[in-house]
Amino acid sequence: MAAPAMSRRERVREATLVEIRSVAHQLLVRQGSAAVTINAVAREMGMSGPALYRYYASHEELVGAVTADFYQELGEVMERARHAHSEEDSSRRLLGMCRAMRGWVTAHPAEFDWMFASPIPGPDQPEARSPRLLAGLDFEQVFLDEVVRLWETKPFGVPATEDLPDSLRDQMIRYSGLLDGRLPPGAAHVFLGCWIRLYGLLCMEVFRQLDFAYSDVTPIFENCLADLCSTLGLEYEPPAGRTPGTTPFPEETQS
């Protein structure tokens, strides 16, 4: 069912909301997180601070809305890389998504900082339904959905639930329930292990925690992808035509 058409006032308000978020984004990239204040955004737009509060009630609300845009953009980049390959080509789908994610986050370090540097609240906390968290969950679904699809079509090796240590078993049973049972506890544990390794390596690269040893993290990232493929029962395929020392970007992972 089509959404009702917006009134002129609603269209103007929506356009202003988009402009506010765009200006905040530009300030973040140009001057850093500390520069993104309500008054600074208002000045850039030729508004007063009190006028901007009619659109976003607080700095925290503005940051959450801008961050939600980042999650949406990254999720769309990964979805495009995923759907560039058929469902039968699971390896290329997963590798394309991971390389697309790395391409985006290394090109957008300031945005990545806003997205992932803050703790994500649990589902029972008051802020769990915030726009930022909901957008983050939508983004995570891209990776999760592909692993679930793989599990359903070609199950990978996982530990039996009863073989997990007691504390871990209880946590994975709970987490499996949050996923509506789409992954059993052992498979949920394997999925999280893959995600933690991928995300952890990207954090270290983007925040320059590996500069002491590596001038080019691409071989390390590709080694990580090879290990993830092995864990998930997939065949690893290196990026075709890749010149050593350069970074894979989303459009270059598509075939």
Q: What confidence tens digit (pLDDT) does each residue in 57-104 have?
A: 999 899 989 999 999 999 999 999 999 999 999 999 999 999 999 999
Helices (H), the chain: 8-31, 38-45, 49-52, 59-83, 90-107, 109-116, 131-153, 166-178, 185-206, 218-231
pLDDT of residue 138: 83
Read off the pLDDT band of 3 (50, 70, 90): low
Cα 226 to Cα 214: distance, rounded to the nearest angstrom: 19
Q: What confidence tens digit (pLDDT) does each residue in 175-226 have?
A: 999 999 999 999 999 999 999 999 999 999 999 999 999 999 999 999 999 9
**Could you give the C-alpha distances from 53 to 13, 58, 64, in angstroms and in order?**
13, 7, 14
Stated pTM of the model: 0.85
Q: Which residue has the higher pLDDT, 161 or 128?
A: 161
Cα 75 to Cα 138: distance, rounded to the nearest angstrom: 8
Read off the pLDDT band of 249 (50, 70, 90): very low
pLDDT of residue 135: 83
